[in-house]
Structure 1
Amino acid sequence: MAELVYKPVIRFALGVFKALDLTLDVRGQEHVPATGGCIVAINHVSYLDFALAGVPFWRSHRRMVRFMAKHDVFSHPIAGPLMRGMRHIPVDRSSGAGSYRHAVTALQAGELVGVFPEATVSRSFCLQPFKTGAARMAAEADVPVLPMAIWGSQRILTKGRPRNFRAARGSTVSIVVGEPIPPTELKPAATGTQLLADAVLKLLTDAQRDYPPPPAGESPWWLPAHLGGCAPTPEVVAQEQAKSHNKK
């Protein structure tokens, strides 16, 4: 099937990254499969993670990732047609069986399916608990999971912060691809999910360790508290989420 929408969108996104003078530090690209189905499991610190996570796959083998995204995005007058044109997978959290089956079918057909197991952007910039869907889908489709960590994208566009692309210019974004986890190691789902979370955490920790320090005089708002930054701790975020849920 011709990719009449996805390829131009990729080129546009790469153009935006270049215009922002971003340094994309991609590591582990050798782990990207040339063919075959695979789940790509990514941490989530920014609204740009969708576009950034696809970079290693496009650079290495011109492959395109079908991301699982909230159903609401597909209803947007501008984003919706693009998401459908790129054949991403809508997720209705009130009825997830359909999106689950859609993803498994895509995997069995040899597609790459992108999943954010945390299910939302992390305001603490720490890894949140993983949902079991990635492990379950990979095991059922009999495909591996490729763990990935993205770091630095929160400096550009993230949850709870005003957009300031001028301040984000010249930022470094680390994109680290880990070794694939075979489907045989993902059963049962709880064990496989913990294995996957541990793999992503290691990649994330390595990316944070090697990341350039904040420029002198810049507020470290984008660093998690345990690394000396100003981001709220996971405990504070959890309390805020609980209060918001109780008000509904």
Structure 2
Amino acid sequence: MPEYVYPPVIKTAQCVFKALNIKVRLEGADRIPRTGGAVLVSNHVSYLDFIFAGVAAHPAKRLVRFMAKKEIFDSRIGGPLMRGMHHIPVDRDAGASSYAASLRALKAGEIVGVFAEATISRSFTVKEFKNGAVRMAVGGKVPLVPVALWGPQRMWTKGRKRRLLQRNVPVTILIGEPLHPKRGDDYDQITRDLHAQMQAMLEKAQREYPVTPKAGEAWWQPAYLGGTAPTPEEAEKLDLAEAEARKAAREDES
């Protein structure tokens, strides 16, 4: 398919990285398939994760088609960009069509990007997720490639002001060993294995990160490392309260 939008977006991002002196550490790039389909599964710590998860595939000269909520495609500005980059809309009320679209992309040899946690993790640990990514890999007969991101949360994450022009922010991107699930496997067990692998990768990225929080900045560090981010239990309660508030707002509108 013609690529009129994606390459210029990548070039723009690279220019921004250079201007802001964003140092990207990319490890495991050789684990991205050079050809054929794959499901790229990333953790989710910021609103910028699709940019950096996409960077994981650049050395292989691949483009990632991310699955993203339909509301972004409905945006007057974001919508044309998302469609131009051939990303895949996810309508929670019509999940089957999103799944079918992802399988078509995989069978056409595309890399499909998935944030399996669905929402940003406030605790900066890997939230529990369902087996959808595994089922996609099996359905498309493609490998499952785990990715861990760390650093973008300092620029823009849930519950914090955007600091998109912040300079000198290191970003770590770790790519793990691919999994090769097949029909007949225990999808839930593979999902648990994937989750454990991604959590171990994230902890590695966090422990090896070259910067520690300054005074008053511990919010971007997970609690287990002494930061003030919510614990997973506290984050779950916050997510539940947010979901209930959204539900109440929709009911009021109707």
Query: What's the TM-score, normalizing by structure 2?
Result: 0.92
* Residues in 1 aligned to 2:135 and 2:168: alpha-carbon distance in whole angstroms: 39
Distance, in Å, in 2 between the alignment partners of 1:199 and 1:185 is: 21
AA in 2 matched with 1:221: W
Does the 8 Å CA contact 1:139/1:187 hold for their aligned counterparts?
Answer: no
1:34 aligned partner = 34
Q: Which stretch shifts more, 17-26 or 215-224?
A: 215-224
Change (3 A) 1:63 1:29: same
Partners of 1:62 and 1:41 in 2: CA distance: 18
Aligned to 1:46: 46
CA contact 1:54–1:65 (8 Å) conserved in 2: yes
Kindly provide the amino acid, as one letter, of the partner of residue 164 in structure 2.
F
Corresponding residue for 2:210? 212
Q: Specify which of 180, 198, 201 is matched with residue 203 of structure 1.
A: 201
* Contact 1:136–1:186, Cα closer than 8 Å, also in 2: no
Gap change, CA 1:186 and 1:154, over 3 Å in 2: farther
**What letter corresponds to residue 169 of structure 1 in structure 2?**
R
Match of 1:187 in 2: 185
Q: Distance in 2 between matches of 1:63 and 1:240?
A: 37
Deviations 1:84-131 (A, max 9, x none): 011000000111000001001111111000000000111111110012
SS at 2:174 equivalent: strand
The CA distance in 1 between the partners of 2:233 and 2:216, in whole Å, is 25
Seen in structure 2, the aligned counterparts of structure 1 residues 217 and 185 have a Cα distance that, compared at 3 Å, is farther
Give the corresponding residue for 2:72: 73
| Contact 1:119 1:131 (8 Å CA) reproduced | no
Q: Residue 68 of structure 1 contacts residue 114 of structure 1 at CA under 8 Å; is this kept in 2?
A: yes
Residue range with higher mean Cα deviation, 233-242 or 201-210:
233-242
Does the 8 Å CA contact 2:22/2:168 hold for their aligned counterparts? yes
Q: How does 1:76-225 map to 2 (within 5 A)?
A: 76-166=75-165, 168-184=166-182, 187-214=185-212, 216-217=214-215, 219-225=217-223
Task: Give the counterpart letter for 1:204 in structure 2.
Answer: L
- 2:145 and 2:122 map into 1 onto residues whose CA distance is 24
Moved over 3 A (4+): 215-218, 244-247
Structure 1 residue aligned with 2:251: none
CA contact (8 A) 2:213 2:220 kept: no
Does structure 2 conserve the Cα–Cα contact (< 8 Å) formed by 1:107 and 1:141? Answer: yes
- What do the CA deviations read for 1:202-235 (whole angstroms, capped 9, x no partner)? 2111111111232553521100111100111111
Cross-structure match for 2:3: 3
**2:252 equivalent in structure 1:** none
SS of equivalent to 1:183: coil
SS in 2 for 1:221: helix
Tell me which residue corresponds to 2:63: 64
CA contact (8 A) 2:30 2:60 kept: no
Is residue 38–residue 112 contact of structure 1 (8 Å, CA) maintained in 2?
yes
How far apart are residue 243 of structure 1 and its match?
Answer: 2.9
Using the TM superposition, give the Cα deviation of residue 165 of structure 1 relative to its aligned residue in structure 2, in angstroms.
3.5
The structure-2 alpha-carbon separation of the partners of 1:84 and 1:75, relative to structure 1 and needing over 3 Å to count, comes to: same
Does the 8 Å contact 1:186/1:192 carry over to 2? no
Tell me how large the CA RMSD over aligned residues is. 1.5
After TM superposition, the structure 1 stretch with the greater mean CA deviation from structure 2, 125-134 or 70-79, is 125-134
**Once the two structures are aligned, what percentage of the paired residues are identical?**
48
Q: What residue number does 2:231 align with?
A: 233
